[in-house]
Amino acid sequence: MSSIDWKICAIAAMFGWGLWGFFGKVAAQKIPTGNLMLLSLIGSSAIVLIFVPFLTKGFSFHPREVQYLCAVGSGIVATVASLFFYFALAKGEATSVVVISSLYPIVTFILAAIFLSESFTIKKIAGMALAIAGIILLSI
């Protein structure tokens, strides 16, 4: 996987998350949110069990290093966010829920600029403003 261009991986993730939102909405129409979350985690676990052995050369965990704690925190936050996502899908239209929740890069952008010293550029700020404007237009 490391030899694949990051842009191809990003596009694959976009399609995967698009399918995730669609399948989640179809499932949320009949399955209670708690059950939906558990079934989703079972699906995720199956993929982890299949692919992780091919992607790692041994496992290590160093709880005193912030990067390892952030990796665990990433999984916790993603799972909690998924639960809220499924609650929203059960009550709202997929077209609105998926688009609004897809604004998460704004949070990443702000945090990366503040804590990782990544740059705020006019193009990035304009892109975020257009994304917000798009959400407003889709919501009315």
Of 63 and 46, which is predicted with more confidence? 46
- Note the pLDDT tens digit of each residue in 50-109: 888 877 777 778 888 899 898 889 989 999 999 999 999 999 988 888 888 888 888 988
pTM, rounded to two decimals? 0.78
Domain spans of the chain?
6-102
Q: Does the pLDDT of residue 13 top 80, yes or no?
A: yes
SS3 readout for the chain: CCCCCHHHHHHHHHHHHHHHHHHHHHHHCCCCHHHHHHHHHHHHHHHHHHHHHHHCCCCCCCCCCHHHHHHHHHHHHHHHHHHHHHHHHHHCCHHHHHHHHCCHHHHHHHHHHHHCCCCCCHHHHHHHHHHHHHHHHHHC
